[in-house]
A = this chain, B = another copy of it.
Amino acid sequence: MAKKKDQSKNNSSKKIPSGKLIGSKVLVSDEKEANTLYQKSFFGEMKAGGKLNLSLIEALYLLEKEKLDIIQGKKKIKFEELMDKAVQEDPLAYVQYVTYDDLRERGYIVKTGFKFGAHFRIYNRGDIPGEAHSSCMVHCLPENFQMSLTDISRIVRLGHSVKKKMWIAAVDNEGDLTYYEVKRIKP
């Protein structure tokens, strides 16, 4: 299958976009490449001057899908090296990557949920960031994660206050995902 990929790349003679690892960001400076990544699937954030700002999670996803080369110093960084770096910064990075990958593969536009105190926010299929509100907040947690009922109350209440669904993406020790929706009800 790896071969097949190579062939298709050779056939189409496509050059994939390239970004530079800067701290915990990947910057795509070529305006055309930046547009390709942003306009199609809303990866990253467009900055002044047509530069595209990708988070490590987004960069990991694009790197693994062979849609982006990432340059550190003078050479291309490998997926494992970048994952290493991401996990050193945030112990939950792997769990977030697995969830991001899964949601993207399901066709969702996935963006950071920081302002809502969540890992990600996602949009209903067909909705576009900037034109529609996101519909759902996603919290990514490993299977052994301990929490109190007060923690659950907090994230549910928050989802309620912004009228978004609240999902927990549980990543088990084999990297398999289960999604839970938690909502407050009136019996």
Task: Give the residue of B57, B117, B150 whose beta carbon is less than 8 angstroms from that of A150.
Answer: B117
Q: A71 to nearest B CB, angstroms?
A: 9
Q: A184 to nearest B CB, angstroms?
A: 6
A62 on interface, CB distance cutoff 8 Å: no
Determine if A20 and B153 form an interchain contact, defined as CB atoms under 8 angstroms apart.
Answer: no
Q: How many chain A residues have a CB neighbour from B under 8 Å?
A: 86
- Count copies of this chain in the complex: 4
Determine if B172 and A156 form an interchain contact, defined as CB atoms under 8 angstroms apart.
Answer: no
How far apart are the CA atoms of A56 and B144 in the complex, in Å? 11
Determine if A115 and B157 form an interchain contact, defined as CB atoms under 8 angstroms apart.
Answer: yes
Determine if B144 and A90 form an interchain contact, defined as CB atoms under 8 angstroms apart.
Answer: yes
Determine if A173 and B90 form an interchain contact, defined as CB atoms under 8 angstroms apart.
Answer: no
Query: What are 5 A-B contacts with C-beta separation under 8 Å?
Result: A106-B187, A112-B172, A114-B153, A153-B178, A154-B155
**Pairs of residues from A and B, 6 with the lowest C-beta to C-beta distance, nearest first:** A117-B154, A55-B173, A161-B161, A114-B172, A90-B144, A23-B94
